Chains A and B, each alone.
Chain A
C-alpha cells in the first residue's frame, strides 16, 4: 500500500486544481459535486484501505518521497510523506469526516452561485491539512500549515459580499498569523540548533543534544506552542474562532472538526519528544488548555447564536486536548480529538440544517419546538450534544473526556488545578450544551420550518451520529471493561502517561462523580430552560454584567483593540505621511528651491552675467590676498 500513500494529499489537491481551472460557469453542478466529493472520497477510501492493511498485518507505510522540492547546497528538502499511527488517525479523521462534510455541502450549498469555488476551496483545505499531518519535515508541514491558514481565510470570507464576513476572514488570518510567526521563529531556531527539520531526525537528535529542562528546548517548545495556540484558537489568541462563524456551516464543521484548529494539537503531539525535554513548556501547554477551556465554557453559556455556542465549545474542547497534552496524556488528547471531530462535525452539520430550515435564523431564542418538526436532525443533534456533554456510558465523548479528567487527576505531571479546571469545565459543558438543545428543540416553535433537509444532509448526520455514539468503545477505562485498542496504536509513536503511585483506587470515584456532575448539569439546564424559564431570566437579570462580559468572550476583543489595534491605528494616523520621507522630501524641496533661485539668476540679461563675473573676480582676488599676504 506504500505506493498509494502519495495519492492521499494529491487527490484533493488535483480536485481543487480541476475546479479552479475549470472556473465557475463551465462545469455543471453534478460534475463539480463528483469531482469535489470524489477526490476526497477516494482519499478516504485509500486511507481506510491502509488502515485495514495496518490493523490486519501491523505494517504501516512509513516514508515516501513524492518529488524533490528544492535543494540548496547540501540541504535538500524533498516533498516526502511520513505515516505513522498518529498521522494515520489524523488522516482518517480528515478524509472521512471531510468526505461527509463534502457530501453534506452538495445539498447545503446547492443554491449558491459559487458552487464550484466552494468545492475548490474545500478540496484545497483538505489537501493542505493532509499535507500538514503527513509531512515528513517541518518545512513541508509549515507549507500545509500556511495552506490551511489561506483556505480558512478564503472560506470564512466565502460570502465576501458582506463586509463583516471579510472582516472575520481577515481577523482569522491575521490572528493565526501571529502564532505562525512564533512557529516560524521556532523552526528557524530548531534548524539553527540541529541542522535539520526532518521530524524523525529532530526527535532522535534532540535528546542527545539537550538535557531535560535546558533553555533551548523550552524556548523552542514555547514558540511552537505559540504557533499551536494561534491555529487552535487557544488563550490568548482564541478570539478569531467565534467570528469565523461568518463562513457557511460546512466550513465551520470542517474548520472545527477535521482541519485547522486541530493542527495545533497535532503539532504538539508530533513534537512530543521535544516537550518531554521541556517540562516547563509542557506545563504551559496545560495551563493554556485549562484557562481556555474555562473561559470558552463560560462564554458559551451566554451566547444566543447557535453556531457561536458551538464555536466556544470547540475552543473549550480543544482546551481539553491541550490540557491532556500538557499532562503528558498524549494518546488521550488524540483520542479526544477523534471523538470531538465526530461529534463536532455532527453538531455543526445539524446546526447548519436547522439554520437552513429556519431561513438562516441563528438566534436560539427564536428557535424552539423543532423536536417534532425535524426528528432526524433532533435525534442526531441530541446524540452529538450527549457526546459533547459527555453523557455517561452511552456517548463516545464520555470515554474520551473521562480519560482526560481521570489523567488530570492521576498523571505525574498534573496538579490539582488542572483537575479542578477539567471537572468544572465538564460541568459547564453539560449546562451550555443542553441549554442549546432545549432552547433549539424544546418549547414552542417560534419560527416556522420552511425547508426539510434532504438525504444528502441526513445521511452524513446519521453516519456521524453512529460514530459519536459508538467510537468511544474502542477505548474503555480500567474500571469498565478495560479496552485499550486506541492507545495501543500509539505504543510506538507516543510516550505513555506516567501515573502517580497508588491512585488507581480513586478512578471509579472520579468517574462516578464527574458522571453525576454531568447529569446534574443537564438537569439544571432542563430545569432552567424547559420547566422554569423565568428562573433563568432572573439569573440573567441579576448577573447582567457578568453575562455581558462572558457574552463578549471575556472582552478579549476590546482588550486587543485597546492595547494593540488602537495604538497601531494611532501610529498609522500620526505617521500617515511617513515622517522618514520628510527627510527626503526636504532634500527635494531644498534642491527645488535652489534650482528656482539659480534659474532666476539665469535671466538672459547680459549685464547681470558680467556683474557675476566681476563679483566672482573680486571674491577670488580678495581670498587670494587674504590667503597669501
Chain B
C-alpha cells in the first residue's frame, strides 16, 4: 500500500506541475484529469473509497467536462496559445514561486514538528459518511443544497447573452 501511495503522489504532483505549465488549455485539463485520478487513488489508500469515487465522478468528470465545454464555446484560436507563451515568462514566475515555496516550507515544518502518534488508520465506508451527513451535518447538507441552487440560478443569469441596452435618448442619435 505504501508503494501505491508514493507512486500515486508522484503522479499527482507531476501531473499538476505539467497542468500548470501548459500553454494549451486542453492539454492542461488532461493533465489535471490525471492529477485528479491519482488523488482518487490516494483517497482510496487513505481508506475513503466513497470520496475516491466522488473525486473521479465530480472532479474528473463533471467539473473538467464543464470547463472543456466552456473552452469549446469560446472557440479559442491558435493565437491564444501564443499569448500564453508570451505571458508565461521566467520573470513572472520567480516572485510568486519564492513566496509560495516559503509558505510550503512553513507548512511542512509545521507538519514535521508534531510527533506522529501511532494510530491505525481504518477505512471509513460510505455508510458511516452517509450517516453523519444526514445526522449531525444535516444543516450543512441543506446549506449545500442552497449553494448549488444559487449556483445554478447565478450561472444561468450570468451566462445569458444579453442584448446591449442603450439609453433611449442615445438610441436616436446612433441610428
Contact = CB atoms under 8 A, between A and B. Distances in A.
In the complex, A touching B, CB below 8 Å? yes
Nearest to B110: A625
Interface string B1-44: 00000000000000000000000000000000000000000000
B96 A618 contact: no
Contacts of B124: none
Given A614-B103, A618-B103, 17 more contacts: A611-B95, A611-B96, A611-B99, A614-B96, A614-B99, A614-B100, A615-B99, A617-B103, A618-B99, A618-B102, A618-B106, A621-B103, A621-B106, A622-B106, A625-B106, A625-B109, A625-B110
A527 to B, nearest CB: 102
Contacts of A611: 95-96, 99
Contacts of A614: 96, 99-100, 103
Interface residues of B, number: 9
Interface in B96-126: 96, 99-100, 102-103, 106, 109-110
Contacts of B99: 611, 614-615, 618
Contacts of A618: 99, 102-103, 106
Interface in A571-629: 611, 614-615, 617-618, 621-622, 625
Chain A contact residues, majority secondary structure: helix
Interface of B: 95-96, 99-100, 102-103, 106, 109-110
Contacts of A621: 103, 106
B111 to A, nearest CB: 12
Size bracket, chain A contacts: under 10
Interface of A: 611, 614-615, 617-618, 621-622, 625
A625 B107 CA distance: 10
A330 B95 CA distance: 97
A601 to B, nearest CB: 15
Nearest to A622: B106
A628 to B, nearest CB: 11
Contacts of A625: 106, 109-110
Nearest to B106: A621
19 contacts: A611-B95, A611-B96, A611-B99, A614-B96, A614-B99, A614-B100, A614-B103, A615-B99, A617-B103, A618-B99, A618-B102, A618-B103, A618-B106, A621-B103, A621-B106, A622-B106, A625-B106, A625-B109, A625-B110
A59 to B, nearest CB: 94
Contacts of B110: 625
Nearest to B107: A621
Contacts of B100: 614
Contacts of B102: 618
Contacts of B96: 611, 614
B92 to A, nearest CB: 9
B167 to A, nearest CB: 26
Contacts of B103: 614, 617-618, 621
A621 B113 CA distance: 14
A623 to B, nearest CB: 11
Contacts of A615: 99
A622 B109 CA distance: 11
A171 B99 CA distance: 74
A584 B142 CA distance: 56
A436 to B, nearest CB: 88
B32 to A, nearest CB: 19
Contacts of B95: 611
A622 B95 CA distance: 18
Contacts of A622: 106
A625 B95 CA distance: 22
A614 B98 CA distance: 11
A15 B106 CA distance: 94
A625 B102 CA distance: 13
A625 to B, nearest CB: 7
Nearest to B109: A625
A134 B113 CA distance: 97
| For the complex of A and B, 5 pairs with smallest distance between CB atoms | A621-B106, A618-B103, A614-B99, A618-B102, A618-B99
A618 B99 CA distance: 8
A618 B110 CA distance: 13
A611 B103 CA distance: 12
Nearest to A614: B99
A615 B100 CA distance: 9
A615 B103 CA distance: 9
